[in-house]
Chain A
Amino acid sequence: MSAATGSPRVAAPWPWLAGSAAGLLLWGLLYSQLQPFSGWLVSLLPIERHSHLGEAIAFFLYDVPKVLLLLTLVVFAMGVVRSFFSAERTRALLAGRRGGIGNVMAAMLGIVTPFCSCSAVPLFIGFVSAGVPLGVTFSFLIAAPMVNEVALGLLFVLLGWQVALTYLAFGLGVAILAGLVIGRLHLEGWLEPWVLKIQAAQLDLPPNSITWPDRIRAGLEAVREIVGRVWIWIIAGIAAGALIHGYAPEELLAGIMGRDAWWSVPAAVLIGIPMYSNAAGIIPVVEALLGKGAALGTVLAFMMSVTALSLPETIILRKVLSAKLIAVFIAVVGLGILAVGFLFNLLFA
């Protein structure tokens, strides 16, 4: 690098690290005061605490700040972690891998590799044209939207680490198995013809100059972007959850979404496909439904269907995949999710 650019190349990391530490401290302070604060807020309202309305409002006032605070922390941490990964590096790790270990790696890298839905098509072509097998590419593309920090963070906050860990394990399982199946079917010929013709140039990026302050900045940027986008969904989701919490009759919901209603699992998967809410809006509703007797397997199947099989994403992918291949993709992933739902309701009876 020439001195002529005049920019201070190595900024001292200490102000950034100290700033992060101060931010975390402030975060902890705020979080520890949530319960007393929301209790105090509810006591100010001229409403009987144990009425339907009182229950709903207390639920809302406690959950909104709690979820937003925790989400901010998780998204920040994930933004920092992602600054260590890139789609190009992930591709280099996956190129030429056979099925099996390649699918496992792809699904796991799908969690940590930075990925936005407008990058889905370039990423797909970039992977396939660089020699990443089709099934391995699909494992990545299924895991990336399904097992993400927003979903895992919210499940952890609202439903506990057991549920979050289970979702992680089964989400990865679906991505790995669906990718393996698609790989075995050898559907390369079902890509759109122009995709197969692409001769990608060898990429030789100059080494990047990323420093710790850059990584912290990446975390803050992720917070601004992701929390800035999903906060409204979270508030809407918690409001819906609060209504269910305060008003929904228990017997009715348990009858529709309980373990005994086997048909509720396929119904949940089907309803989830055209829905494109993100996990942020769905999980608070899910929490309330569980509290009213819905079965965990049914509810997890619904969540996976909403996040992994979204209509807008398949429309984007239609540019590179034939309709037949899209149908196979939806069928294989849908069946996997269905299996997760049934298995869960069976195991955790």
Chain B
Amino acid sequence: MKDVKVLGPGCKRCDAAVQMVKDAAAASGVEVSVSKVTDYAEIAGYGIAATPGIVVDGKVVHAGGLPKAEDLARWIGG
């Protein structure tokens, strides 16, 4: 079970990123729990400067804008 967090205050892009994570999880068949982190202090604690950010099992793998679908598949499936 992978734990994926999407960091972002809740703009349109952050929701799109959540959807991308869900799609990637469904495509790879890996069991994934997706949660949103919207609290500014908590987001800042991860050290990113642009949202949305993506955290897989505690490690920040992406910050700013939407990730590439291929990269996302690698982070979640690999």
Interface residues of A (CB under 8 A from B): 1-2, 4-5, 7, 9, 86-88, 90-91, 114-116, 118-119, 121-123, 125-127, 129-130, 194-195, 197-206, 208-210, 214, 319-320
Contacts and interface: CB of A to CB of B under 8 A. Distances in A.
Contact of A86 (B7, B14, B63): B63
A195 B50 CA distance: 16
Contacts of A125: 40-41, 43-44
Given A116-B13, A122-B43, A122-B44, A208 B71 contact: yes
B45 A198 contact: yes
B1 interface: no
Contacts of A5: 70, 73-74, 77-78
Contacts of A2: 74, 78
Contacts of A126: 44, 47-50
Contacts of A127: 49
Contacts of A88: 48-50, 63-64
Contact of A201 (B8, B14, B46, B77): B46
28 contacts: A2-B74, A5-B70, A5-B74, A88-B63, A91-B49, A116-B11, A116-B13, A118-B10, A118-B11, A118-B14, A119-B64, A121-B40, A122-B8, A125-B43, A125-B44, A126-B49, A126-B50, A130-B47, A130-B49, A197-B41, A198-B45, A200-B44, A200-B47, A203-B48, A205-B60, A205-B61, A205-B62, A320-B40
B13 to A, nearest CB: 7
Given A88-B63, A122-B40, A7 B70 contact: yes
Contacts of B48: 88, 122, 126, 203
B70 A123 contact: no
Given A126-B47, A126-B50, 15 more contacts: A7-B70, A86-B64, A114-B64, A116-B13, A118-B8, A118-B10, A118-B14, A119-B51, A122-B49, A122-B51, A126-B49, A203-B63, A208-B71, A209-B68, A209-B71
B31 to A, nearest CB: 17
B47 A201 contact: yes
Contacts of B63: 86-88, 203, 205
Given A126-B48, A203-B60, A118 B71 contact: no
A20 B8 CA distance: 33
Contacts of A118: 8-11, 13-14, 51
A90 B78 CA distance: 29
A130 B46 CA distance: 11
Interface in B52-68: 60-65, 68
Contacts of B50: 86-88, 114-115, 119, 122-123, 126
A203 B16 CA distance: 23
Q: Give the most central of B10, B48, B63: most A CB within 10 Å.
A: B48
A265 to B, nearest CB: 35
B22 to A, nearest CB: 17
A123 B71 CA distance: 23
Given A4-B77, A87-B64, A121 B9 contact: yes
Q: Give the most central of B49, B65, B71, B78: most A CB within 10 Å.
A: B49
Q: Give the most central of A116, A119, A130: most B CB within 10 Å.
A: A119
A90 B11 CA distance: 22
Contacts of A9: 70
